[in-house]
Structures are given as C-alpha cells and as structure tokens.
C-alpha cells in the first residue's frame, strides 16, 4: 500500500464548500435578491433591541405593510449526541448503533412574533369570535413536524411544503389582515421541484405508455418555418389520441422528425 502512495491517516472532517462564492450565486445575490429586499424595506416594520421589542414603523405609511417570514427546516435523530449520555456514576451505557429514529421540523419565523402561532398572536376575545364564526383553524401553528422513515411518515417533499405554505398564509391573513407576507426560502432541492405535468424528458419512457406522468401539451415549429422571423407554432399533444388510446408518448416518438407507419402526426418539439 505504501508503494502505491497510500498511508495510514486519522479520520477528520474536511472543508465543506457550500457554493456561496460561485459566480451565478453572487450575481443572483447582488442583482436580484438584495435589490428586492431593499425595495420592500420602506414598507416593513423594523424591530430592534435584545428582545426585538422596539418597533420602528415603516417609512411608507400609505402603502400596504409587508411582513417578512423566513422559512427553515431541519431533521433531528435520536442518537445525534453520541458522545455523551445521562446516567449515574456506576452506569456504563454502550454507544448506539446508527442514528436512530428521526423527526423533521419545518416552520416560518417572523420578526414580530417569532414562530407563527395564533395562540400568542390573537387575544382571547379574537379567538372566541373566530371560533363562534367557524373561521378559527384547528391547527393554530405554522409548524409542521413529521417522523419520516420505514413504516412511518413520507420524507419531506415539495408537496408537503406547499401544503404548509397554504396553511401559513391562512394563519397570516387571520393574524395580520390586509398585510402582505413575503416568504424567504433557502436553496433546497425541495424548493425547485417540477410540476406533475412538466415537460421533463427524464420522466419519459422509451416506449409508449408506462408509469411516466401525463404531461401537458406543448408546441413545435415546423421545419420550413424555423428560419422565419415570426413562425407559427403547431400544437403538440404529449398523449396519443388514436393509435394507443390516450397513452403517454415515448421519447423516440417525440424526437422523430418525420412521419412513420405507427404515428402520422409526430414531429420534433421544443
């Protein structure tokens, strides 16, 4: 092993690069994200002090107020703290194997109230009035806690995040009627999911039908019009209408540029 360039080493954590210095990330930060925050700053209430208890009213009092909500999520395992344990002097507990069961927490945080909870935001009279009118939600918190894993809850995905966003907006409209909520998310892959009917070639099969989703209709530009300034787009269905009884089209079919015995209306599409 030594002659091949290997040597015995102690395991240690390496340096993690999260990509904040990438050119496209810096461009988005300075050209899009920060200017957007600056544009809503005159309509925000700023909270200062150690307890965030001093509120400075927004500069533009005539515009609709905006409250910023920061979203974050994290996962916790039963054996996260593996180096320490609670016990008496004569106890000797063997270290656990694996991380153990976990639970996932997702929530929105506001400068004005912390984690959104109508129990703390509304008064007793307001909650009583909403309860009598049937407008008080059963869940008064924006927080969502799941226990993913085998024979348990499904892992956190974009659909669950969207459901949480809708619920949080409902709570926000009750807590701060007439105001606007500006939600800020990080760059998690769950926040960049495609729609179920999105045109994603990796979801398609080689042959017609199968389990790939029903995609929405699109269009293509015919070969004799591609060099024109204002070409006419031709509708392109992603489902067979006649030959295969509404089955999904396959990759080979959608990339075929001419007619074929199987399909007489297939063209290459964009």
| Residue 33 within a domain | yes
| Domains of the chain: total | 1
Give the C-alpha separation, 185 to 109, whole Å: 11
pLDDT of residue 78: 85
Say if residue 69 is exposed, middle or buried (CB neighbours under 10 Å; 0-12, 13-18, 19+): buried
What CA–CA distances, in Å, run from 233 to 119, 216, 220, 228? 54, 16, 6, 12
**Structural domain range at position 47:** 20-63
Evaluate whether residue 170 is within a structural domain: no
Q: Tell which wins on pLDDT, 108 or 251.
A: 108
Which is more confidently placed, 165 or 14?
165
pLDDT greater at residue 97 or residue 33: 33
Residues across the chain:
270
Domain membership flag for residue 35 = yes
Q: Does residue 45 sit within a domain? A: yes
Note the pLDDT tens digit of each residue in 136-189: 999 999 999 999 988 889 999 888 999 999 999 999 999 999 999 999 998 777
- Whole-prediction pTM value? 0.71
Q: Where are the beta strands (DSSP E) in the chain?
A: 46-48, 54-56, 66-77, 102-110, 114-115, 144-146, 180-184, 218-221, 233-236
Question: Is 231 inside a domain boundary?
Answer: no
């Amino acid at each position: 092993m030594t002659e091949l360039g290997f040597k015995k080493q102690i395991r240690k954590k390496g340096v993690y690069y999260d990509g904040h210095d990438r050119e496209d990330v810096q461009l988005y930060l300075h050209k899009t994200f920060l200017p957007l925050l600056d544009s809503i700053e005159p309509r925000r209430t700023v909270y200062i002090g150690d307890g965030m208890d001093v509120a400075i009213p927004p500069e533009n009092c005539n515009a609709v107020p905006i409250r910023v909500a920061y979203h974050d999520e994290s996962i916790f395992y039963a054996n996260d703290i593996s180096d320490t344990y609670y016990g008496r002097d004569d106890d000797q507990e063997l270290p656990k194997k694996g991380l153990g069961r976990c639970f996932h927490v997702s929530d929105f945080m506001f400068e004005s109230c912390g984690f959104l909870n109508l129990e703390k935001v509304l008064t007793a009279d307001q909650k009583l009035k909403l309860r009598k009118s049937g407008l008080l939600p059963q869940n008064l918190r924006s927080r969502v806690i799941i226990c993913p894993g085998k024979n348990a809850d499904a892992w956190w995905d974009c659909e669950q995040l969207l459901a949480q966003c809708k619920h949080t907006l409902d709570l926000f409209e009750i807590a701060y009627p007439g105001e606007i909520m500006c939600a800020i998310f990080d760059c998690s892959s769950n926040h960049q999911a495609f729609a179920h009917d999105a045109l994603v070639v990796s979801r398609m099969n080689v042959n017609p039908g199968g389990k790939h989703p029903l995609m929405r209709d699109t269009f293509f530009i015919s070969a004799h019009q591609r060099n024109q300034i204002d070409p006419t787009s031709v509708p392109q269905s992603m489902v067979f209408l006649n030959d295969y009884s509404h089955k999904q089209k396959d990759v080979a079919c959608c990339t075929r540029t001419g007619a074929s015995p199987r399909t007489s209306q297939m063209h290459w599409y964009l």
